[in-house]
Amino acid sequence: MTPSLYIHIPFCAQKCDYCDFFSIPLNNCENIKYSENYVDSVLNELNFYKSFFSVDSWKTIYIGGGTPSKLSPSLLEKLIINAKKTPSEIQPLEITVEANPQDITIPFIQSLKSAGVTRISMGIQGADDKALKKINRGCSEKNIFDALNLLESHWDKDISVDFIAGLPGQTYSSFSEQFDKILSYHITHVSLYTLTVEEGTPLFNKISDKKISFSQEKCDKMWNTGKNILKKKGFHQYEISNFSIPGKESIHNSSYWQQDDYIGCGCTAAGTIYGKTGLRWNVTKNIHAYENFWLQKNESKNETLNSLQDKGLLSIEKLSKETMEFEFLMMGLRMNRGISLLEFKKRFGKTLEESVGEKINIFREWENEKLAKTIREKNDVRYALNSRGIMLLNRFLESLL
């Protein structure tokens, strides 16, 4: 079995106001030891999955968070080198590590090189000090360009950056100027998002209390501005929010969109193994219970996913065929290459038309409205939304329900 691997590192220097991911501040010596225990726990959990699912090799590895770069360089290197170990010793096609600009140092870069990392994904989000302060980002414009200069000099592999359009305090001119400046560096991949205001976050509360103004229309227009800049720089949009130089698409994230098997380790991580009946699990966010169990090296010897669920360490969801069929459409149509009718029939034993019935006409209606396209290949036919239609994906999916 050759699934992809996701490892969640929940530690952050501080929580940004827009973030609703699970994270823990890591800012003192006691928490440094805490992170060592956490990494050992993850590696023990990972060894359980390797054995339980008979993992022969990893297709890709992605270390995300939180902020993986808050781990010391040596601890991060230990995590990656041990995670890579599989019976076949075949190396993953791609190893990605997320990092914040202020954590990019020469020792950090050297550790990633030693561990065989192929891509650094840097969470820039915005390069305007005014906007960064408004979202409690804990990063400055100087941090960002210092990091980019270090990477330019000392990193010869892929660089991906995350950027958010519509941050409070951003103007069209500041967004365009800074975005254009960032893309003057050797960046091969960009994830460009519009600002999402999640209920319960400090940003949501500030907007609700009228302390910060928010306009979805402004976010959308700013995102389109960024999209046009990327196009001029030679990037192509291969997924709703993701752009790359041709050939530099994220293999790991594409595995999610293509419904490939993936294993998730660490608090709040998710994993999914597809088959006749899909199996999905979500790891607990109770870090104390998680570490108390997984720090015991022999604790998992006779465990199963069901027994781990009984212990409260994860929750299991069995995916019906109908759910997997819908997710095939939902995830596949995020990509500009769309969905393969041949692959659909191979996976589910019936044609797409047999699955959705008369609603198959919705594809044709959208094609007539120049929102979708049919791609005819030698041995296959693909349905895809075009650059206009892909922005209306939710509306399209609702019409299929």
Instruction: Return the HEC string of the chain.
Output: CCCEEEEEECEECCCCCCCCCCCEECCCHHHHHHHHHHHHHHHHHHHHHHHHCCCCCCCEEEEEECCHHHCCHHHHHHHHHHHHCCCCCCCCCEEEEEECHHHCCHHHHHHHHHHCCCEEEEEEECCCHHHHHHCCCCCCHHHHHHHHHHHHHHCCCEEEEEEEECCCCCCHHHHHHHHHHHCCCCCCEEEEEECCCCCCCHHHHHHHCCCCCCCHHHHHHHHHHHHHHHHHCCCEEEECCEEECCCCCCHHHHHHHCCCCEEEECCCCEEEECCCCEEEEEECCCHHHHHHHHCCCCCCCCCCHHHHHHCCCEEEEEECHHHHHHHHHHHHCCECCCEEHHHHHHHHCCCHHHHHHHHHHHHHHHHHCCCEEEEECCCCEEEEECCCHHHHHHHHHHHHC
Question: Side-chain half-sphere of 363: how many Cα atoms within 13 Å?
Answer: 19
* Res 29: pLDDT: 40
* Res 359: pLDDT: 87
**For residue 126, what are the CA distances in angstroms to 66, 226, 249?**
17, 12, 22
Query: Position 362: which residue type?
Result: I
* 400: Cβ contacts below 8 Å, ≥ 6 apart: 326, 329, 356, 359, 362
The 8 Å CB, 24+ separation contacts for 105-112 are 105/73, 105/150, 106/150, 106/154, 107/73, 108/69, 108/73, 108/76, 109/150, 109/151, 109/154, 109/155, 110/73, 110/154, 111/73, 111/74, 111/76, 111/77, 112/76, 112/77, 112/80, 112/155
* Res 326: pLDDT: 92
What is the number of other CB atoms lying within 10 angstroms of the CB of residue 310?
Answer: 10
pTM of the model: 0.92
- Report the distance separating Cα 253 and Cα 183, nearest Å: 21
Q: Which residues partner with 192 through β-bridges?
A: 163
* Res 31: pLDDT: 54
| Digitized pLDDT (tens) for each residue of the chain, 401 residues in all | 999 999 999 888 766 667 666 667 665 444 545 688 999 999 999 999 999 999 999 999 999 988 899 899 999 999 999 999 999 989 999 999 999 999 999 999 999 999 999 999 999 988 887 777 777 777 788 999 999 999 999 999 999 999 988 888 888 888 899 889 999 999 999 999 988 777 778 777 777 877 777 778 888 899 999 999 999 999 999 999 999 999 999 999 999 999 999 999 999 999 999 977 799 999 999 999 999 999 986 666 778 999 999 999 999 999 999 999 999 999 999 999 999 999 999 999 999 999 988 888 999 999 999 999 999 998 899 999 998 898 899 899 888 87
* Res 33: pLDDT: 58
